[in-house]
Amino acid sequence: MADFWKRFSRNRQAVLGLVILCVVIFVAAIANFIFPTDPFLYSKFPLSAPGENGFLLGSDSIGRDVASGIAHGAKTSLLIGLIATLAAVFIGVIFGAFAGYYGGIVDDILMRITEVFQTIPSFVFAILLVAIMKPSIESVVIAITVVSWPAVARLVRGEFLGLKNREFVQACHTLGMSDLRIMLAEILPNCLSPIIVIGSLMVATAILIESGLAFLGLGDPNVMSWGFIISDGRSMLRVAWWICTFPGIAILITVLAINLVGEGLNDALNPRLRERN
């Protein structure tokens, strides 16, 4: 662990990313304490500029606090990113593991299915899925999962293909271990590092997709998110720049931070890069 941290911290940018990410998580965690009221709560002060009427980052067209929206939206964005990524990794690992381990006809079938999903542009596909289901937080998570898992499946398949003929796996076969046990207990732990790296990057993509969907009006109208604030304030950009700008900055730095952390994880976990510096 100490070794891992040493390798991770060698990448300054990754550490910076981690710090920013921790701040975002902290804000999300204490959102309910610093802004105890509902972020949707209207007020009698619509379109206040930042600093006016006690709104740190201004208020929107029906007087909702932009700062409160960003803090509560952080929770939504991070949760969506995390849940969608976990689900996508879960599905991707199952598909990839079976395809890579068994090969042949199983591989053909699973990979053809994966390719069907991969050939459709992911954001357009996500829009389509949310439009078919009603826009809600669940459908957004499902849509992000559906467009994200094929990448994981292909990665895991590649790893399994490379590992399944190694000596330690053959040894397991001789010992009479079941296929499932070999896959789960022997091969999977050996390809965890690339999965963690791709997973961390997927969280960033998921946040972007969620914001994009909300921006197009396909977010859950009952849940405060960054994309929602931007979508709501977009038509007022000329009158009230602050509504779109601050959540936009929040998305920018969060996605950047997660990407930096992902990069750092890649450096720290990838054995081939260990001696790079």
Partner 1 sequence: MKLTKVMKGVLAAASIALVGSFAQAQQAGGSLVFLVQPEPPTMAGYVSTSGPIGLLGPKIYDGLVDYDNDGKIVPMLAESVDVSPDGKTITFNLRKGVTWHDGEPFTSEDVQFTIMDVLKKVHPRGPNSFKEVTSIDTPDAHTAVFNLGNPAPYMLRALSSYESPMVPKHHLEGQDIKSAKLANNPVGTGPFKFVEWKKGQYMRLDKNENYWREGRPYLDRIVGRFVPDASTRAAAMEKGEVLYAAYNAVSNVEAVRLNKEKDNISVTTDGYSMINPMALLEFNTKEGPFTDASVRRAISTAIDRQYMIDTIFFGYGKPATSALSSNFSATGLHAVMPNYPANGDVAAANKILDDAGYARDGNGVRMKAMFDLIPYGEDWKRGGQYIQQVLGEIGIQVELRYEDVPTWLKRVYHNYDFEMNLNYFYQLSDPVLGVHRHYGTNMIRKGTHFVNSSRYSNPELDALLSAGMTTPDATKRAAIYLDIQNILANDMPVVNLFELEFLVVYNTKLKGAYGSAMGAYASFGDAYLD
* Residues 50, 242 contacting (CB under 8 angstroms): yes
- Which segment (2-10, 60-68, 139-147, 204-212) binds partner 1 by CB under 8 A? 60-68
Measure the N-to-C terminal CA separation of the chain; round to a whole number of Å.
Answer: 19
Q: Return the bridge partners of 65, or none.
A: 59
Q: With binding defined as CB under 8 A, does residue 135 bind partner 1? A: yes
Q: Which of 3, 44, 112, 176 contacts partner 1 by CB under 8 A? A: 44
Tell me the closest approach of the beta carbon of residue 195 to partner 1, in angstroms: 36
Q: Which of 16, 40, 53, 103 contacts partner 1 by CB under 8 A? A: 40
Residues 6+ apart with CB under 8 A from 27: 71, 74
Binding mask 216-255 for partner 1 (x = CB under 8 A): -x---xx--------xx-xxxxxx----------------
Instruction: Give residues 103-132 in contact with partner 1 (rule: CB under 8 A).
Output: 131
- Which segment (59-67, 90-98, 164-172, 265-273) binds partner 1 by CB under 8 A? 59-67
- d(Cα 201, Cα 64) in Å, to the nearest integer? 32
CA distances from residue 107 to 10, 84, 101, 153, 210 in whole angstroms, order as listed: 39, 25, 8, 11, 32
Count the helices and strands in the chain (H runs, E runs).
Answer: 12, 0
Tell me the closest approach of the beta carbon of residue 255 to partner 1, in angstroms: 24
Q: Which of 25, 62, 113, 177 contacts partner 1 by CB under 8 A? A: 62
Q: With binding defined as CB under 8 A, does residue 134 bind partner 1? A: yes
* Residues 61, 236 contacting (CB under 8 angstroms): yes
- d(Cα 277, Cα 19) in Å, to the nearest integer? 23
Residues 6+ apart with CB under 8 A from 10: 267, 277
Binding mask 159-198 for partner 1 (x = CB under 8 A): ----------------------------------------
Q: Which residue number, 60 or 267, has a Cβ lying nearer to partner 1?
A: 60
Q: With binding defined as CB under 8 A, does residue 61 bind partner 1? A: yes
Nearest to 106 by CA among 145, 167, 162, 160: 160
Provide the binding-site residues for partner 1, judged by CB under 8 A.
Answer: 38, 40-42, 44, 46, 61-63, 131, 134-135, 217, 221-222, 231-232, 234-239
